[in-house]
């Protein structure tokens, strides 16, 4: 789960400047997407043209276009009870998200998400990147789609994160 901050984004965070725009993007990918990943940027009226990081799984180091779309992203976190899932709410007024989600119904593969932040003054690489997020539970309405996302490894961990051995939990081993 590599992540990094570019020098421009780290400086922007450290200086707490209000004049620096932080551009939030998401990339959706699924085996059924014939044209490759779908990329979106929020807070823009026009598409964003930016360069991907050298380690990107698709188009590494290339300049790509992110479509302008309104969405809200709540990053993943954790509390005393364990990990909390991230959520993304995407505008569906244009029908774009409904079209994309219909494509994913045909396969059992998960929809992968890559979250990127760019400093508005430096589009030569993203400042912060989260790989390996998976989208699940996406009810789509005429106005929006709200999806829960998280890392697959975290979602598949045993609860309460203990090893069920014969000594501490003898009941599952009774034959």
What's the mean pLDDT in 138-167? 68
CA distances from 155 to 94, 100, 133, 160, 162 (A): 32, 24, 10, 12, 15
User: Residue 37 pLDDT > 90, yes or no?
Assistant: yes
Contact (CB, 8 A) for 76 and 86: yes
Spatial CB neighbours of 19, under 8 Å, sequence gap ≥ 6: none
What percent of the chain has pLDDT above 70?
76
User: Residue 13 pLDDT > 50, yes or no?
Assistant: yes
What's the mean pLDDT in 69-88? 80
H/E stretch holding 148 reads strand 144-151
Average pLDDT, the chain: 79
Check residue 4 and give its pLDDT: 52
What's the mean pLDDT in 101-116? 80
Contact (CB, 8 A) for 40 and 33: no
**What distance in Å separates the CA atoms of residue 88 and residue 65, rounded to the nearest whole number?**
20
- Of 114, 110, 67, nearest to 91 by C-alpha is 67
> In the structure, what pLDDT confidence band is assigned to residue 3 with cuts at 50, 70 and 90?
very low
Check residue 152 and give its pLDDT: 63
**This model's pTM is above 0.85:** no
Check residue 162 and give its pLDDT: 64
- Identify the weakest region by mean pLDDT among 70-74, 125-129, 168-172: 168-172
**What distance in Å separates the CA atoms of residue 24 and residue 119, rounded to the nearest whole number?**
9
What's the mean pLDDT in 99-123? 83
């Amino acid at each position: 789960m590599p992540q990094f901050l570019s020098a421009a984004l780290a400086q922007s965070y450290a200086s707490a400047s209000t004049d620096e725009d932080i551009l939030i993007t998401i990339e959706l990918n699924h085996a059924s997407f014939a044209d490759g990943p779908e990329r979106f940027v929020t807070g823009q009226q026009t598409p964003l043209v930016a360069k991907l990081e050298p380690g990107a799984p698709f188009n590494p180091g290339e300049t790509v276009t992110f479509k302008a779309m309104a969405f809200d992203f709540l990053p993943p976190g954790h509390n005393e009870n364990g990990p909390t899932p991230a959520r993304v709410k995407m505008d569906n007024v244009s029908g774009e998200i409904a079209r994309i989600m219909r494509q994913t119904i045909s396969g059992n593969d998960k929809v992968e998400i890559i979250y990127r932040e760019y400093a508005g003054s430096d589009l030569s690489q993203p400042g912060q990147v989260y790989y390996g997020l998976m989208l699940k539970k996406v009810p789509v309405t005429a106005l929006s789609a709200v999806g829960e996302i998280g890392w697959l490894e975290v979602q598949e961990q045993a609860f309460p994160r203990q090893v069920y051995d014969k000594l501490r939990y003898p009941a599952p081993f009774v034959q």
